[in-house]
Amino acid sequence: MPHLVNNEDIRIGDVYFAWSIPEYEEHDRTRAWFVIMLVAGALFVLYAIVTSNFLFALIVVLFGIILFLQSHQKPIIIPFQITELGIVLNNRFYPYDELQEFFMVYSPPDVKMLFVETKSHTRPRLRIPLMDMDPNEIRATLREFLPENVEKAEEPFSDMFARKWMLH
């Protein structure tokens, strides 16, 4: 369970790396993108109504509203730190003993990402853009505390799909 860093009882140790990341990727979506998504969303809602799956229809509508609202605001800038005792994402501290492994996907300019898997099945993997940080230095530091999964050299399908379709 990550801890709030604002609580002064939490020790995070020395900070090795620190940078700021956007809450989500900002995309320049064209009018054609919005039309395609509107048609796809309408088809999904129509399918949900035909199959009497009203919860699915509600989820599709809410997803569309979130994407629309997200496209009209700037992402929040979040601080990220790699420390001696764990990692800090925004105001949450994740000790290394709660983290399972990490892997990097570095294929500039499209993908420069650090992924950290947690031991918890209820918490998703942490997805941290590397921005202009040196991936070799980050990798060398994290290897001191976490195992690196070198078999995961590709971006997860869900992230690739969301990036290609400008969903996150």
Cα torsion angle, 150, 126, 95, 23, sign: positive
Residue-wise pLDDT tens digits, 99-112:
999 988 887 777 78
pLDDT of residue 122: 83
Range of the domain at 58: 31-71
* 56 has a pLDDT exceeding 80: yes
Q: Evaluate if pTM is beyond 0.85.
A: no
Which of 34-38, 100-104, 157-161 has the lowest average pLDDT? Answer: 157-161
108, 153, 102: which is closest to 133 by C-alpha?
Answer: 108
Residue-wise pLDDT tens digits, 108-140:
777 788 899 888 888 788 888 888 888 889 999
In percent, how much of the chain has pLDDT > 90?
A: 35
Give domain status of residue 25, yes or no.
Answer: no
Average pLDDT, the chain: 84
Strand partners, 41: none
pLDDT of residue 59: 95
pLDDT of residue 142: 92
Q: Give 87: exposed, middle or buried? Use CB within 10 Å, 0-12, 13-18, 19+.
A: buried
The two three-digit tokens of residue 121, written as one number: 């099945």
Give domain status of residue 154, yes or no.
Answer: yes
CA within 13 Å, CB half, 156: 15
Give how far Cα 32 sits from Cα of 28, 29, 37, 41, 64, Å: 11, 8, 9, 14, 15
Give domain status of residue 166, yes or no.
Answer: no
pLDDT band at 81 (very low <50, low <70, confident <90, very high): very high
* 4 has a pLDDT exceeding 60: no
**Is the domain of 92 the same as that of 142?**
yes
Structurally, the chain folds into a number of domains equal to: 2
pLDDT of residue 8: 58
Q: Where are the alpha helices (DSSP H) in 20-98?
A: 31-50, 54-71
Q: Where are the beta strands (DSSP E) in the chain?
A: 3-4, 15-22, 77-83, 86-89, 92-95, 99-107, 111-118, 126-129
Give domain status of residue 134, yes or no.
Answer: yes
